[in-house]
C-alpha cells in the first residue's frame, strides 16, 4: 500500500510546518520552547516507531529524516540565542531591555519555513522514492532471472 511507504514523511512534514505556524501565531518565549520540545518529542517517538517497522530504506534515509528533527530543535534553541545576543548587545556589551521585544516578533514572522519544508520534501522524498523504486526493480530482476 502506498501510504505505508510515506506515512512517516508525511506526518513529519505536517508537524514541521505546523510547528512553524504555531511559532508564527504565538510568538512568545514559552511558545518557542514548548512548541520545539513538543514537536521534537513527537517526531522522535515517531522516528523510533518508523525505524522499528523498517520504514527507512537505508541509513541515509534515516539520517535525512533525523535532520528535520534536529532543525526544529535548533530553531527552538536559536530563539533563545538570538534573545540573549540582542539583549546583551554584543557590539557594545551593554544590556538593552526593549530591543528584544521588537526582534522577537520578527524571529519567525516570515514564510521562509515553507521553502525549507519544500526542500526537505524534495530531498528526503526524492531519496526515499528513488531507493524504494531501485529496490523494487532489483527484486523484479531477481524474479525474472531466477
pLDDT number for residue 116: 84
In the chain, the number of structural domains is 1
Record the pTM: 0.73
Q: For 41, which DSSP code?
A: H
Among residues 3, 126, 17, which one has the least CA distance to residue 53?
A: 3
Q: Tell whether the model's pLDDT for residue 16 goes beyond 90.
A: yes
pLDDT of 29 above 60:
yes
Note down the domain range covering 116.
2-145
pLDDT, tens digit, 9 for 90 and up, residues 35-55: 999 999 999 999 999 999 999
Angle (CA) 74-60-4 rounded to 5° is 95
> What number of residues does the chain have?
146
**In whole angstroms, what is the distance from residue 36 CA to residue 23 CA?**
9
Amino acid at each position: 500500500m502506498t501510504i505505508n511507504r510515506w506515512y512517516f514523511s508525511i506526518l513529519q512534514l505536517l508537524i514541521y510546518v505546523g510547528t512553524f505556524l504555531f511559532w508564527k501565531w504565538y510568538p512568545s518565549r514559552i511558545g518557542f520552547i514548548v512548541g520545539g520540545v513538543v514537536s521534537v518529542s513527537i517526531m522522535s517517538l515517531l522516528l523510533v516507531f518508523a525505524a522499528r517497522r523498517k520504514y527507512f530504506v537505508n541509513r541515509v534515509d534515516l539520517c535525512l529524516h533525523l535532520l528535520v528533527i534536529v532543525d526544529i530543535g535548533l530553531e527552538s534553541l536559536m530563539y533563545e540565542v538570538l534573545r540573549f545576543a540582542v539583549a546583551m548587545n554584543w557590539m557594545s556589551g551593554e544590556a538593552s531591555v526593549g530591543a528584544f521585544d521588537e526582534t522577537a516578533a520578527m524571529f519567525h514572522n516570515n514564510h521562509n519555513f515553507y521553502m525549507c519544508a519544500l526542500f526537505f520534501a524534495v530531498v528526503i522524498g526524492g531519496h526515499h522514492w528513488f531507493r524504494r523504486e531501485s529496490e523494487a526493480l532489483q527484486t523484479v530482476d531477481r524474479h525474472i532471472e531466477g
